[in-house]
Amino acid sequence: MSGIRVLIVGSGGREHALAIGLGNSPSVDEIHTCPGNAGTSEIGTNHDVSSNDIEAILKLAKELAIDLVVVGPEAPLVSGLSDLLRENGIPSFGPHSEGAELEGSKLHAKRIMEELGIPTGGVQVLTDESNIDSALARYPPPWVIKRDVLAAGKGVVVTQNIDEAKEFILESISTDKFVLLEEFLHGEEASMLVIMDESGFICLPASQDHKRVGDGDTGPNTGGMGAYAPAPVVSEVVKQRVIESIVNPMHHYLRNQIIPYRGVLYVGLMIDDDGYPNVVEYNVRFGDPETQVTIPLIKSDLGLMLLAASEGRLDQIEPRFSNKSAVTVVLASEGYPGASNIGREIKGESIRIEDVDITAYVHQAGTLRGDEGALLSNGGRVLSSTGIANDLPTAVKAAYDVMNEIQLEGSHYRTDIAYRAL
């Protein structure tokens, strides 16, 4: 059999990490990305097709005789990209549109968790008929308010301030007709990425993201400012609890749907002080930046694993994982997570550390090559430096050694990634 021809959909650091992982897979022959970034263009071919144009992606996949499409972001999954590809006989890694509703609608996800008895916080649905004061009084602060729309991480407010809570509730009801008020979950967050299809599932090493923009978890929420894996908060005991109370019932439910779930289920966890997990959220895709620290820890052939999941035969795969630790530190543009200044020149991105036991390099995200060949910033999260080593402190140091070489005017990054585990 000739090698797999892969098309990756998306343009972030996650997609660069997938491209590197697939590029290291002996089974993979060719890598294409749409639209990709300057990093993915060094591994394969970028195509100027938007990740939201699902008809154009189908056309591209046919033209290139693609064997496997790997979908990065959630929006095209919710719009039915996998449905369309499968109807046309092209294996797609990522759930069909109904499965993608687990991320597309937080209320839908809550209802399924309730039905299956999966541990998660309580929720109230508020409309213009609701008594907002009594709803707020039912949960102690901080209050968690979520719009039930795909808002790229911007639809959630967590606040102790009752006026701010009310204002966001009223605003959201006026645009969306309803809003969710969730019970605040205490503990430490972790992300578990679970590759699954109807034949089985594989839990990847658990990771921890850093959602706040500033050191010490201060400032506004972002898409993620850094991550590390494995996250010690998910000990073997905790992992078994996650599998028993969350992954098993969810997998049982998803495998028995008319169209089974094929892709990765991102389980956003809150581990309480006694080591019991609750679900904060589900996503139907790889996390960003969690992917940058998870993929390097997979030792088995990533191409074969993702193709098997997209064809419903994941039970044929025996995964192997590395014992190393991985850390990634995100470099963001001036202004991020608000309006970001882009189009500035980046220097130092090709630096790489390659020692016997230490590897460190850059995952590109919001980058593009200018006409004169210079690398330019092209998004809020520009790139991340990733370190991989036998222990976490060494991996942290390697990631920051690389980050210190990068130059981008006005940019910022957190200096405390992985602090909870150090």
Residues that bind ligand GLY in the complex, under the rule CB under 6 A: 209, 223-224, 283, 287-288, 290
Q: Which is nearer to ligand GLY, 30 or 288 (CB)?
A: 288
Residue 94 partner contact from ligand GLY, ligand AMP, none using kind-dependent CB cut-offs of 5 to 8 Å: none
Query: Binding segment for ligand AMP among 179-187, 313-321, 353-361, 376-384 (CB under 6 A)?
Result: 179-187
Residue 222 partner contact from ligand GLY, ligand AMP, none using kind-dependent CB cut-offs of 5 to 8 Å: none
Residue 373: partners with Cβ closer than 8 Å, 6 or more residues away: none
CB of 183 to ligand AMP, least distance (A): 6
Whats the size of the chain, residue-wise? 422
CB of 53 to ligand GLY, least distance (A): 22
Choice from 139, 178, 184, 321 touching ligand AMP (CB under 6 A) = 184
Residue 182 partner contact from ligand AMP, ligand GLY, none using kind-dependent CB cut-offs of 5 to 8 Å: ligand AMP
Q: For the chain, how big is the Rg over CA atoms in Å? A: 21
Kindly state whether residue 185 participates in binding ligand AMP, applying the rule CB under 6 A: yes
Query: Binding segment for ligand AMP among 183-191, 238-246, 374-382, 408-416 (CB under 6 A)?
Result: 183-191
Query: Binding segment for ligand AMP among 1-9, 150-158, 289-297, 341-349 (CB under 6 A)?
Result: 150-158
Kindly state whether residue 102 participates in binding ligand AMP, applying the rule CB under 6 A: no
CB of 63 to ligand GLY, least distance (A): 30
> What phi, psi does 191 have (nearest 5°)?
-120, 130
Query: Binding segment for ligand AMP among 95-103, 153-161, 316-324, 332-340 (CB under 6 A)?
Result: 153-161
Among 292, 256, 321, 319, CA closest to 384: 292
Kindly state whether residue 139 participates in binding ligand AMP, applying the rule CB under 6 A: no
Kindly state whether residue 189 participates in binding ligand AMP, applying the rule CB under 6 A: yes
Among 164, 161, 120, CA closest to 142: 161
Among 142, 144, 149, 143, CA closest to 178: 149
Instruction: Please say whether the beta carbons of 86 and 109 come within 8 A.
Output: no
Instruction: Please say whether the beta carbons of 138 and 124 come within 8 A.
Output: yes
Kindly state whether residue 227 participates in binding ligand AMP, applying the rule CB under 6 A: no
CB of 316 to ligand GLY, least distance (A): 28
Q: Which is nearer to ligand GLY, 205 or 223 (CB)?
A: 223
Residue 158 partner contact from ligand AMP, ligand GLY, none using kind-dependent CB cut-offs of 5 to 8 Å: ligand AMP
Instruction: Please say whether the beta carbons of 39 and 381 come within 8 A.
Output: no
Q: Which is nearer to ligand AMP, 203 or 280 (CB)?
A: 280
Choice from 30, 67, 281, 290 touching ligand AMP (CB under 6 A) = 281
Burial of 303 (0-12, 13-18, 19+ CB in 10 A): buried
Choice from 182, 290, 301, 349 touching ligand AMP (CB under 6 A) = 182
Residue 56 partner contact from ligand AMP, ligand GLY, none using kind-dependent CB cut-offs of 5 to 8 Å: none
x/- map, 155-174, ligand AMP, by CB under 6 A: -x-x----------------
Choice from 80, 121, 214, 219 touching ligand AMP (CB under 6 A) = 121
Q: Which residues would be at the binding site for ligand AMP (CB under 6 A)?
A: 121, 144, 146, 153, 156, 158, 182, 184-185, 189, 211, 221, 268, 280-281
